[in-house]
Amino acid sequence: MNHAAATLAIRWRLRQRILPHGELWRRLGEYTGGGSCGGCGERITSAQASYDVDFTPGVTPQSVRFHRECFEIWQCECQSALPS
C-alpha cells in the first residue's frame, strides 16, 4: 500500500468525521486479515498486520480495523491536525 495515499485518505476521513480525532480506548492486535481498513479503505490481507481499535464508549464509530501502518498514520494525524 501507498503511504502517501493512505495519509490523504485518513486525513479526509478525519475531516469528514468518519474517524474520530483521538478517543482511543483500546487496541487489540489482529493478524488474521479480512475486511477492509478503516483508514485507507483497502482490503487487509492475511499478510498484513492489523489492529482492531475500539474508541471511547459513545464515540461513533465504536470500533475500526486498521492496517498497522494506517493506525500509526491516524495517531500521527490526530496529534498534528487541528479541526478547522
Return the residues of window 18-57 that contact Zn ion according to CB under 5 A.
37, 39-40
Distance in angstroms (rounded) separating the CA atoms of residues 59 and 2: 28
Distance in angstroms (rounded) separating the CA atoms of residues 41 and 43: 7
Report how many residues bind Zn ion under the rule CB under 5 A. 5
| Nearest Cα to Cα of residue 28 among 69, 66, 73 | 66
| CB of residue 40 to Zn ion, shortest distance in Å | 3
Comparison of 3 and 15: residue with beta carbon closer to Zn ion = 3
| CB of residue 52 to Zn ion, shortest distance in Å | 13
Task: Assess 67 for contact with Zn ion (CB under 5 A).
Answer: yes
What is the dihedral sign for C-alpha 74, 77, 83, 84? Answer: negative
Place of cell 461513533: 60
| CB of residue 16 to Zn ion, shortest distance in Å | 16
> Which chain residues interact with Zn ion by CB under 5 A?
37, 39-40, 67, 70
